[in-house]
């Protein structure tokens, strides 16, 4: 992303982080494990190669991971009392078997209203710097605040949610165990959900076993050809950078002008950000369709064809990374496109998609 647009996001996020941190200060008085009576600290487990110099895990100082906090977050992630009519939970639009996304083009709210954008997958979010397609939330905690009160999603209010959870026979005790003191409030709800989501770690695909585990048999000849294209001629790795297969940027990839969705410009007010959307991860991409912020592509084959043939050179603010893709310059033939799709499917982590630790605990 160009420096100007990037700074717009960072300035916005810095202000939101400061505001959110001020709201969460009371919980900082209850550090995990202090005196042996607080929540139990939890350490994420992931391979050494998963964190690089530019891609590191982000854990807020005021929301450390704990066993009790994660357990509470798991229960809340599947809790339908968060919605106005008890019909929706976070998991309604973020389903584990689809890498915590929704297989529909757009999700539907509790009253049947269609959402505006395709539901984003939640894979390795502990490494991400901002959330939503337009990057408007600077943390998982801030992301979790939005859907409850959104009138095309859960259509509820946070005071109502707090009242319901406080009156529940189990939740008050679970909140006290998770945070070391009594109290049920919106900030604690989203903190717990964020803790649970940060455990969504996915680094056990066939690609990982081949690339990092030394298993030369993990990929077929076609998939190896697709791998070479991905990291070479097709230049996919420029933006969908391994090992996370995303580079945490918000860019305009040439989808064309959409008068109904300005992307990042709606957040920053800067026309330079028109049509910019977050670079999502390619991990588990096989199961996260339909693709793009508006779900316009049903298959990976359509996605590859778009990059190979259909980048719009007239799109305002087209990112420089897209220039080599213009006018079919890549020259990918049918076999190469098929190889790329085959390679992308090697990023599927079936263990992650079926991990019982992420399932509904009820």
Considering the domain architecture, whether residues 216 and 193 belong to the same structural domain is answered as no
Using DSSP, how many helices (H) and how many strands (E) does the chain show? 13, 2
Give the per-residue pLDDT at 28.
Answer: 45
Give the per-residue pLDDT at 169.
Answer: 98
Secondary structure letter of residue 243 according to DSSP:
T
220 in any annotated domain: yes
168 in any annotated domain: yes
361 in any annotated domain: no
Give the per-residue pLDDT at 29.
Answer: 42
Considering the domain architecture, whether residues 177 and 281 belong to the same structural domain is answered as no
Considering the domain architecture, whether residues 248 and 175 belong to the same structural domain is answered as no
Residues ≥6 apart with Cβ < 8 Å to 187: 23, 24, 27, 141
Domain boundary residue, one of 169, 184, 201: 201
Give the per-residue pLDDT at 330.
Answer: 81
Give the per-residue pLDDT at 27.
Answer: 55
Residue 233: is it exposed, middle or buried by C-beta count within 10 angstroms (0-12/13-18/19+)?
A: middle
Considering the domain architecture, whether residues 184 and 213 belong to the same structural domain is answered as no
Considering the domain architecture, whether residues 187 and 211 belong to the same structural domain is answered as no
Considering the domain architecture, whether residues 195 and 217 belong to the same structural domain is answered as no
Considering the domain architecture, whether residues 197 and 253 belong to the same structural domain is answered as no
356 in any annotated domain: no
The three-state (H, E, C) secondary structure of 156-205, written as one string: CCHHHHHHHHHCCCCHHHHHHHHHCCCCCCHHHHHHHHHHHHCCCCCCCC
Per-residue pLDDT tens for 28-43? 444 555 445 789 999 9
Residue 207: is it exposed, middle or buried by C-beta count within 10 angstroms (0-12/13-18/19+)?
A: buried
153 is catalytic: yes
Domain count, the chain: 2
Residue 183, Ramachandran bin (φ over 0: left; ψ between -120 and 50: alpha; else beta): left
Contact 346, 223 (CB under 8 A): yes
Give the per-residue pLDDT at 36.
Answer: 56
Considering the domain architecture, whether residues 346 and 214 belong to the same structural domain is answered as yes
Considering the domain architecture, whether residues 252 and 304 belong to the same structural domain is answered as yes
Contact 282, 230 (CB under 8 A): no
Considering the domain architecture, whether residues 59 and 106 belong to the same structural domain is answered as yes
- Give the integer Cα–Cα distance in Å for 194 and 60: 10
HSE value, Cβ hemisphere, 13 Å, CA-based, for 313: 9
pTM of the model: 0.90
Q: Which residue range(s) make up the domain with 293?
A: 206-350
Domain boundary residue, one of 163, 186, 201: 201
360 in any annotated domain: no
Q: 240: domain CATH number?
A: 1.10.760.10
Give the per-residue pLDDT at 3.
Answer: 37
Give the per-residue pLDDT at 14.
Answer: 46
359 in any annotated domain: no
Domain boundary residue, one of 161, 178, 201: 201
Give the per-residue pLDDT at 325.
Answer: 84
Please identify every stretch of the chain with a pLDDT value under 70, giving residue numbers as ranges: 1-36
358 in any annotated domain: no
355 in any annotated domain: no
Considering the domain architecture, whether residues 100 and 220 belong to the same structural domain is answered as no
Tokens found for residue 245: 């297969």
Give the per-residue pLDDT at 183.
Answer: 97
Catalytic residue among 79, 153, 265, 336: 153
- Give the integer Cα–Cα distance in Å for 10 and 129: 10
Considering the domain architecture, whether residues 182 and 210 belong to the same structural domain is answered as no
């Amino acid at each position: 992303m160009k420096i100007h647009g990037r700074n717009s996001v960072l300035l916005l996020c810095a202000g939101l982080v400061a505001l959110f941190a001020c709201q969460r200060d009371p919980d900082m008085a209850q550090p995990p494990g202090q005196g042996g009576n607080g929540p139990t600290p939890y350490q994420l487990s992931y391979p050494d190669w998963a964190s690089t110099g530019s891609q590191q895990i982000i854990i807020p100082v005021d929301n450390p991971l704990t066993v009790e906090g994660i357990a509470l977050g798991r229960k809340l992630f599947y809790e339908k009392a968060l919605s106005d009519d008890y019909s929706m939970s976070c998991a309604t639009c973020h389903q584990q078997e689809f890498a915590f996304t929704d297989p529909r083009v757009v999700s539907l709210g509790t009253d049947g209203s269609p959402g505006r954008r395709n539901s984003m997958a939640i894979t390795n979010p502990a490494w991400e710097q901002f959330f939503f397609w337009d990057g408007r939330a600077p943390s998982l905690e801030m992301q979790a605040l939005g859907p409850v009160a959104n009138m095309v999603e859960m259509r509820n209010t946070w005071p109502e949610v707090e009242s319901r959870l406080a009156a529940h026979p189990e939740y008050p005790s679970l909140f006290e165990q998770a945070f070391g003191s009594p109290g049920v409030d919106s900030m604690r709800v989203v903190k717990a959900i964020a803790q649970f989501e940060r455990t969504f770690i996915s680094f056990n695909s066939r690609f990982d076993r081949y690339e990092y585990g030394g298993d030369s048999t993990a990929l077929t000849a076609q998939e190896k050809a697709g791998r070479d294209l991905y990291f070479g001629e097709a230049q996919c790795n420029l933006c969908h950078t391994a090992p996370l297969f995303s580079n945490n940027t918000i860019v305009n990839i040439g989808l064309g002008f959409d008068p109904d969705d300005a992307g990042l410009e709606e957040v920053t007010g800067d026309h330079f950000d028109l049509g910019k959307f977050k670079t999502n991860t390619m991990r588990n991409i096989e199961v996260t369709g339909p693709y793009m912020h508006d779900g316009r592509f049903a298959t990976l084959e359509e996605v590859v064809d778009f990059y190979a043939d259909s980048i719009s050179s007239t799109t305002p603010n087209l990112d420089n990374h897209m220039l080599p893709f213009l006018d079919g310059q890549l020259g990918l033939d049918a076999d190469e496109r098929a190889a790329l799709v085959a390679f992308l499917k090697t990023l599927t982590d079936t263990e992650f998609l079926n991990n019982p630790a992420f399932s509904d605990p009820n």
